[in-house]
Amino acid sequence: MIVDDDARLSTLMATILDRAGYETRQENRSFAALSTAQKFQPDLILLDLNMPGKDGGTVAAEIRMEKPLSQTPIIFVTSLIGKSEAGICGGDRFLSKPIEPAVLLAAVKQTVSMVAA
């Protein structure tokens, strides 16, 4: 599942992932992200940090409080960090915008494979 207020970016990420064989859902409204996640039950959430309404940290906290979603991995996607700062911090993975297709696919593949193991 992709949560980003920039519909062009979420569509781009969905296209990249769809072509790689992943099933995606997009949500461009931060206040609707929890509801969409409850309906879709994603294996992974790509979540923008800087959004109007609720920021990504708030959305992540809501998702992690929901029993069936609490263990769903979240990859934060943000322009607030540079490529050299992207990585794992506090157990969460961060990807830098603009997103590079190869980096996105590698992060998703690695995260999904860790969940499946």
**CATH domain 2-99 topology:** Rossmann fold (3.40.50)
Residue with tokens 């809501």: 62
Q: What secondary structure does DSSP assign to 50-110, as a single string?
A: S-SSS-HHHHHHHHHHSGGGTT--EEEEESSS-GGG-EEETTEEEEESSPPHHHHHHHHHH
Residue spans per domain, the chain: 2-99
Tens of pLDDT, residue by residue over 55-84, are: 999 999 999 999 999 999 999 998 876 566
| Predicted pLDDT at 73 | 94
The backbone torsions φ and ψ at residue 7, rounded to the nearest 5 degrees and listed phi first, read: -60, -35
* Residue predicted with more confidence, 33 or 88: 33
| Predicted pLDDT at 92 | 78
| Predicted pLDDT at 115 | 73
| pTM of the full structure | 0.92
